[in-house]
Amino acid sequence: MSSISIYGASNIVSSIEIHGNRKIETDAVKQKLQTRIGEPLSKDLVREDIRSLFMLGFFEDVSVLEEETEKGLKLVFNVKEKPTIAKIEYEGLESLEKDDLKDLVLVKEYELLNRQKLNESVEKIVQKYEEKGYYLADVHYKVTPLPNSGEVVVTFKAQENDKITVKKINIIGNKVLSTDDLKRVMQTKEGGAFSWLTGSGSYREVVFERDIAALGFYYGTMGYVRARFGKPEVTVSPDKKWIYITFYVEEGFQYTVGNVDFGGELLFTRSELSDNMELISGDVFNTETLRRDTLRLTEKYGDLGYAFANIIPQPIIHDDTRQVDITFDIDRGQRVYIGKITISSNTKTKDKVVRRELTIHEGELYKGTKKRESKENVTRLGYFDSVEFHQTTSKEDSNVVDIDVKVKERSTGQLVIGAGYSTGGVGFIANAQLSQNNFLGNGQVASFSAQIQTGTKLYEYSLSFQEPYYGATLWSMGGDLYQVRRNVAVLEAVNSFEEIKTGSAVKLGHPVYNFMNLFLTYKFEHAYVRPSSIIDKTLYPKEDVNGYTSSLAGNLIYDKRDDRLDPRDGFYGSLTSEYAGLGGDRYFVKSTATAKYFYPIIWDFVFRLNVTGSNISRTGTRRVPNNELFLMGGLFSLRGYDPFSIGGEPVTLSSNPDDLSEEAKKAGLSGKKILIGGLNQVLMNAEIEFPLLKEARIRGVIFADVGNAFNDLSKISGPKLYANLGWGFRWFTPIGPLRFEFGYPMVNSGASKFFFTIGPPF
C-alpha cells in the first residue's frame, strides 16, 4: 500500500526524510531514491521511488507525504518494515515427517517475512499431502505479531481429513485392449488391502495426465494412432474416503506402416540409413519401434561426431488407407569433440571408479555408440540406481561438448542377520553376512559371511576381497579364506560322513575382449573327515577323503548383464577348468560351463534362465575322491528335492560290520543302498519373476528346475532327469533379498519342499 499527497504550488524539494525504519539505515534507503533536493518535484519520479523501495524486499508498506515549508517542499517517506520470523510452528501436520517439512517450507527462522514464499510453501505442502493420499487436506498459515518486537510467529496449520483412496477406475469404450491391460500401464492405481504399505491408490492430477499420455503411446505401439481419451470424471464418495475415476476411450482403427523416407542433411545413402531399421512398410505401426529407430539414427550420426544431430520423425497419417508414412527429417548440427568429463552426485563412490568404465575420453571426436556403451558399463557396476549423461556445449568453444555423468548411488553394503526354517532335512537356518560391493568407494568387493543349517549340520564361513583394477592397470586381484563343515548324504538319519574343508584362494584377472575377462585362481585346501563318522570305510577310505588339494583354475567369463547385483536383462557365460595336482595328495580335473540369460518380457516381468554342466575326472591312476563328487537337491539346484538326495547310481553298503560306523550298525543299514555322487552334473533353472507389491519391492516367482548328477547317463537305471516346479516370493530389502520358495517334485514324486534364505537368486 502506498499514498502520494496532492502537490502544492511550490514544487522545489527542500528536504527528504525517512520515517518508520528501525533496522534499515536511513542513508541506505535514500540511496535508492531518484528524487533529489533542490530539484522540482516529479510525480513520476516519486512513483518510481516507491517502486524501488518495495523492490528492496524490506518493506511491506510505503507512503509519501509532502509538506510546504518556507524553503520549499519537504517529502516524508513513511515505511513499514517487514517483520522478522522469530519462530515457525506446525499444527495438525501429523502425517508429514520433519525432514519433509524442511524441503517444503521455503521460509526460515530469523529471516524477513515473505508472504509469496509462505503461499508457495502452502502449495508444496498440499502437493505432498496429495502424494500421500490426503487429497482433501486443508492447509493455511497464520502470522502472529509479537508485541513491541518487530517479530512474528508463523504457524502452518492443516486439517488433514481422512486419507482418500482411488476406489475404482472405470474405463469405457475399450474393445481391443482389456481394462486390466490398460490399468497396468497407468501409475494411478486402485487402492487395495496393502495400500498402507505400498502407497498405491493415491490420486494426483499431474500423474493422471501422464497416465493418459502413456496410454496413448501404448495404443500407438499396436497401431492405434487415432486413440483418443475423454476428460476424466472424478467423483468423491459422501464420506470423502474414496475417489471414483471414469474416462472414455475411442480406440479408432489399426494403422500400418506406409512409406519410410529420409530428408534433410543426409550423410549416408538411403540404403545405409535403412540398415537395421525396424519400421518396415506393411507392418503394423508401432510408436515404440519409431522411438528406437529415431535413437538408432541419432546414434549413427553421433558416431560421426554430430553430438547434437536432431532427428525428427514426421508422421503423415492417411485415414483412407489406414497407413502412416514416416519421413525422418535430419538436422546434423555441428561436428564436435569431447571436452571436460565430470562425475557428479557421487558422495561415496570415487570418480576413478566411474571413469575407468568409460569408453569416451576427453579430446577425442564425439561418438554416440561409445557414449551409450559407457553408460551401460557404469550402470552394470550395480552401484547406482540411475546413471545419466548430460551434455552441454562448452562456453569456450562451440565445437566442444562437455559431458556430466550424474549418478544416483544405491546402498551397496549389506549387514544381514537372519533365521528361518526349511523342510527336507535342512531344519533351522541362520545367516550372517557383512558385505560391501563398493568398499570405501573404490569399487572393491569385501565380504564376510556365515551360514548354519542344523538339519544337515552345515556350517560355512568365508572371508573374501576383490580389487577389480589394481593400481592404474586393468589387472584384478582378490583372495578368499573359507571353512565348510558339513554332513553329506543323510540316510535314515545316519550321516555318510562329517567333513571339514579349510582353504584359501588367490585370484588374478585381466580383460581379454569386450565384456570378457580371464581369471587364474590358485587354491590350497585341506579336507578332513572324522574317521568315526564315515558310514562305510570301503566307500570312503580315509586316505581318499582326507588330504591337501593344491589346484590352479582358469576361468573365462563373459558378462553383459545390465546390473551385476540385480540383473534384469543381458547374458552371463562362464567356462572354468580346475586342475588339482600341483603338489598336495588329491588329484582331479573339474570343469564347469555356465550360461545365464535374463530378459524383460512385459510389465516388469523378467525371464531368467540358468544352464550349468560340470564334470570331474581323475588324473593318472588316482581316482576322484568320493567327497568331491556332485550331489544335487536343495535351494541352489533342484528345489523340489532334499539336499544331497540326487547323485549317481546307488551303491550298496558293506555287509561287514567292521566297515560301518556305529550309527550305521545301530540303524541296521548293512547292505542298504546309498548315494555317493556322480562324476557329471547337468542343471537347468528357469524362472519368471514378476512384481507383487512393486512399491515395497516384493516380487513373485514361478520356476522349473531340471537336472541330475550321474556317472554314465546311458547306464542310469532310475530317472534320466529329475524335475520340479515351484513358486515363491522375494522381498528385496535394504539388507538384502529374502527368498521364500516352495518346490514340488515332478519325478519320483514326494512331499513338497520349503526353503528360506537371504541372498540373491542365480
- Is residue 489 scored above 70 in pLDDT? no
> CB of 511 within 8 A of CB of 519?
no
pLDDT at 420 (0 to 100): 54
Q: Which residue type sits at 695?
A: E
- Is residue 629 scored above 50 in pLDDT? yes
pLDDT in tens, 368-384: 899 998 998 898 888 88
pLDDT at 5 (0 to 100): 44
Provide the percentage of residues in the chain whose pLDDT is more than 70.
92
User: Which of 338-364 are b and which e, b meaning 16 or more Cβ less than 10 Å from the residue's Cβ?
Assistant: bbebebeebeebeeebbeebbebeeee
pLDDT at 320 (0 to 100): 94
Q: What is the average pLDDT across 700-706? A: 96
DSSP string covering 204-220:
-HHHHHHHHHHHHHHHH
Which residue(s) pair with 142 in the sheet? Answer: 155
Residue 665 pLDDT class (50, 70, 90 cuts): confident
Residue 169 pLDDT class (50, 70, 90 cuts): very high
416: left (phi over 0), alpha (psi -120 to 50) or beta: beta
pLDDT in tens, 296-309: 999 999 999 998 99
Provide the percentage of residues in the chain whose pLDDT is more than 90.
39
- Is residue 606 scored above 90 in pLDDT? yes
Architecture of domain 337-398: Roll (3.10)
pLDDT at 193 (0 to 100): 62
- Calculate the CA 669 to chain-centre distance: 53
Q: How far apart are the first and last CA of the chain?
A: 71
- Is residue 542 scored above 90 in pLDDT? no
Residue 497 pLDDT class (50, 70, 90 cuts): confident
**Dihedral over alpha carbons 270, 295, 560, 357 (to 10 degrees):** 110
- Is residue 57 scored above 80 in pLDDT? no
pLDDT at 9 (0 to 100): 46
Which tops the pLDDT comparison, 297 or 622? 297
Which residue(s) pair with 599 in the sheet? Answer: 607
pLDDT in tens, 323-357: 999 999 999 999 999 999 999 988 888 888 889 88
Architecture of domain 165-250: Roll (3.10)
pLDDT at 545 (0 to 100): 83
Range picked from 76-90, 165-179, 614-628, 663-677 for highest mean pLDDT: 165-179
CATH entry, 413-758, from 3.30.465.10, 1.10.10.10, 3.40.50.360, 2.40.160.50: 2.40.160.50
pLDDT at 413 (0 to 100): 60
Give how far Cα 661 sits from Cα of 24, 541, 672, 699, Å: 97, 13, 14, 46
User: How many whole angstroms separate alpha carbon 332 and alpha carbon 629?
Assistant: 63
User: How many whole angstroms separate alpha carbon 311 and alpha carbon 313?
Assistant: 7
| Closest to 248 in 3D by CA, of 228, 234, 225, 220 | 228
User: How many whole angstroms separate alpha carbon 322 and alpha carbon 514?
Assistant: 45
Which tops the pLDDT comparison, 219 or 33? 219
Q: Which residue type sits at 353?
A: V
pLDDT at 693 (0 to 100): 80
- Is residue 6 scored above 50 in pLDDT? no
Range picked from 25-39, 492-506, 696-710 for highest mean pLDDT: 696-710
Topology of domain 13-81, per CATH?
Ubiquitin-like (UB roll) (3.10.20)
> CB of 649 within 8 A of CB of 631?
no
pLDDT in tens, 403-459: 999 998 877 665 555 555 555 555 566 666 676 776 777 777 788 877 776 666 777
Quick one: 256-331 is in which CATH superfamily? membrane protein fhac (3.10.20.310)
In sequence order, the 6+-apart residues with CB closer than 8 A to the CB of 39 are: 12, 13
Which tops the pLDDT comparison, 620 or 574? 574
User: How many whole angstroms separate alpha carbon 130 and alpha carbon 411?
Assistant: 28
Average pLDDT score over the chain: 86
pLDDT at 253 (0 to 100): 95
> CB of 4 within 8 A of CB of 46?
yes
pLDDT in tens, 186-216: 988 887 666 655 556 777 777 888 999 999 9
Angle at 85 between CA 79 and CA 90, to 5 degrees: 140
pLDDT at 3 (0 to 100): 45
Which tops the pLDDT comparison, 277 or 494? 277
Q: What are phi and psi of 55, to 5 degrees?
A: -65, -20
Helix and strand counts by DSSP (H, E) for the chain: 13, 34
Same fold, 13-81 and 337-398: yes
Q: Give the range among 14-23, 284-293, 373-382, 421-430 with minimum mean pLDDT.
A: 421-430
CATH entry, 84-159, from 3.10.20.310, 3.40.50.720, 3.90.1150.10, 3.30.43.10: 3.10.20.310
Per-domain boundaries in the chain: 13-81, 84-159, 165-250, 256-331, 337-398, 413-758
